[in-house]
Structure 1
């Protein structure tokens, strides 16, 4: 009985050892197979990535875009023109580039035959019959040289440049307007034949246009801008006028008597003259050399109020007479600076 038991245990031990010995190679084999599978998976994954890269389109390098300078209107921020400096000669021909910019700036400021410019002469305020001020419009200047330099500075890197617009309002205080008619500091009267209907009408219309005009300190008065077109559409009639040393009939003949009367009235104050022209023939209503001829769209009579005080113009039409007075307030009368 005891020997049989020992044999049985011996068999169990042998079987166990056999099983243990078999399991180790199997485990190693399984581990090896797993590594092969993992390696194969990695290779397949890399191959798939390679295939994907080959199928993807190759991105081309973007071409460098040319530098652009945008010129904008300062109040609306609207782009009025986009300039490409390199196409205009920047760096390759700087002199040509500057010349092109100057030409464009001049057209922008002064206008062309089809497009108005940014520059605007002042239309003066007027004192109404009710004592209230009727507003005109300010002086506007586009500084051409400043615009050119600003664009050149921006041409290296591009960007935006604002138009250098300078707006100048009339140089007087609204609170002074009602007192500007108190004293007369300049006056002149001319005469004409009231029976000549066309000439009389033209003098009346142009006189009304300058009547009650307020001239602030430093304001530049333009006869043509203030009076406007002397044509049929504005009520002007045919009358004799001097053209190329000849008396001819023309619409608006007679308005030069208004401008000449105004010239003699303001001349006693020694204002600064900006533009003044004489007729090609002597006229009968003022002494030799004391006339100021005008033509809308052509010759103008312009002067600056250099007196240091605000002024008021009065134009009074009588039966065959025209009187222009320059007035100011009693307070300002003693402060007037008269020219030499």
Structure 2
């Protein structure tokens, strides 16, 4: 081998050594780089997992917080609802009863809602009792129910006005008060007034025709009894009884006491004849009863004496006592009529009259 070739070979080997060194460096560097990237990726993955875990924990935390807030709000609402319920239970219920005629409050019921609810039946019974007394009155107070005081013809032929029939509708008032248990308020008395069922322009004609009459006799009676008969007869004379009117003997005649001119006379009391003021007026009520019994009237109240009386047969009498037993009827004969009553010389006569036009329309009774 020539020296030149040997030199070339050495030069080549030297270069190849350099190349191998460089390649080794590059390879080692690449391996180191790959190792570094792998570690970096592992760290990044670990970091990403930790971040994901934190996000998950954050989400759970936020959900838990939201749940707690919702429960807090619900609890707050429950608390407020309980406060509202307690406030409702303790809410005062005031019910005012108003008289429409005077616009005055005549009664106020004060309740607590809880107590009212728990004792409703008891309070309803108390209200029913109160309404009954309010309508019908008591021994010391006058009720709202008022019997009709009928109109009457004066001696001059002019109408003397009485008073209408007034009824306090008890069931209606009760229903209104109970309905007010819910929120309280004002309840107006349901008062209904009924005027006499006739036309004023026909009053002057009501004495044209006698449609029924009856007579009893009191001759020989003591002066006191005679006077009482005359006074009570005058009281019912010229009274107008309209269609569907309710007539009350006691209300029309009034108190039969000394203050009103009535005198002492014998009267039936508890099966015995005793002396009392006003004795004799039952003959007037009896004579009226036997006259109206000939018409188609409806009896509201009718009582017989506890003893036999001499002026009428048994069972045909009508005893009365102011503040007690009364003789009452409703005119269901279909037309208005006029009561004409006279008591003179021992003869007591009651006539029922009406106009010629009405005489053919009036309904007769069975008597």
Match of 2:194 among 168, 173, 184: 168
1:83 aligns with 2:109: yes
The one-character-per-residue Cα deviations of 1:13-40 (angstroms, maximum 9, x if unpaired) are: xxxxxxxxxxxxxxxxxxxxxxxxxxxx
- Aligned residue number for residue 273 of structure 2: 247
The answer for the alignment partner of 2:126 in structure 1 is 100
2:329 aligns with 303
Deviations 1:139-182 (A, max 9, x none): 01111111111011112111111000011110000001000000
1:152–1:188 Cα change, 3 Å: same
1:205 aligns with 2:231: yes
Aligned CA distance change for structure 1 residues 293 and 88 (closer, same or farther; 3 Å):
farther
In 1, Cα distance between equivalents of 2:115 and 2:290:
53
| Alignment equivalent of 2:283, drawn from 250, 253, 257 | 257
1:104-143 deviation per Cα after TM superposition (whole angstroms, max 9, x unaligned): 1111111122221111000000011111000000101111
Q: C-alpha separation between the residues in 1 aligned to 2:127 and 2:160?
A: 39
Write out aligned runs for 1:167-316 (5 A).
Answer: 167-194=193-220, 196-316=222-342
Report the CA distance shift for 1:198/1:89 in structure 2 as closer, same or farther (over 3 A): farther
Greater C-alpha Rg: 2
Residue in 2 that maps onto 1:54: none
**1:136 partnered with 2:179:** no
Change (3 A) 1:339 1:317: closer
Q: Tell me if 1:150 matches 2:173.
A: no
- Residue 95 of structure 2 corresponds to 69
Runs of 4+ off more than 4 Å: none
8 Å CA contact retained: 2:293, 2:365: no
Q: Unpaired runs of 5+ in structure 1?
A: 1-62
The CA deviation at 1:76 is: 2.4
Aligned residues: 279
The answer (yes or no) to whether the contact 2:267–2:274 under 8 Å persists in 1 is: yes
Q: How does 1:2-41 map to 2 (within 5 A)?
A: none
State the shift of 1:193 in Å.
2.4
From the superposition, tell whether residues 89 and 275 of structure 1 become closer, same or farther in structure 2 (CA, over 3 Å).
farther
| Distance of aligned partners of 1:144 and 1:86 in 2 relative to their CA distance in 1, 3 Å threshold | farther
- Tell me the distance in 2 between the aligned counterparts of 1:338 and 1:195: 33
Distance in 1, Cα, partners of 2:113 & 2:182 = 13
User: 2:334 & 2:115 partners in 1: Cα distance?
Assistant: 48
Task: Identify the residue that residue 30 of structure 1 maps to in structure 2.
Answer: none
Q: Which string of whole-angstrom CA distances, capped at 9 and with x for unpartnered residues, describes residues 312-340 of structure 1?
A: 00011120110000000000001112245
1:11 is matched with none
C-alpha RMSD of matched pairs (Å): 1.6
- Rounded to whole Å, the distance in 2 between the matches of 1:288 and 1:216 is 30
Measure how far apart 1:85 and its partner are.
3.4
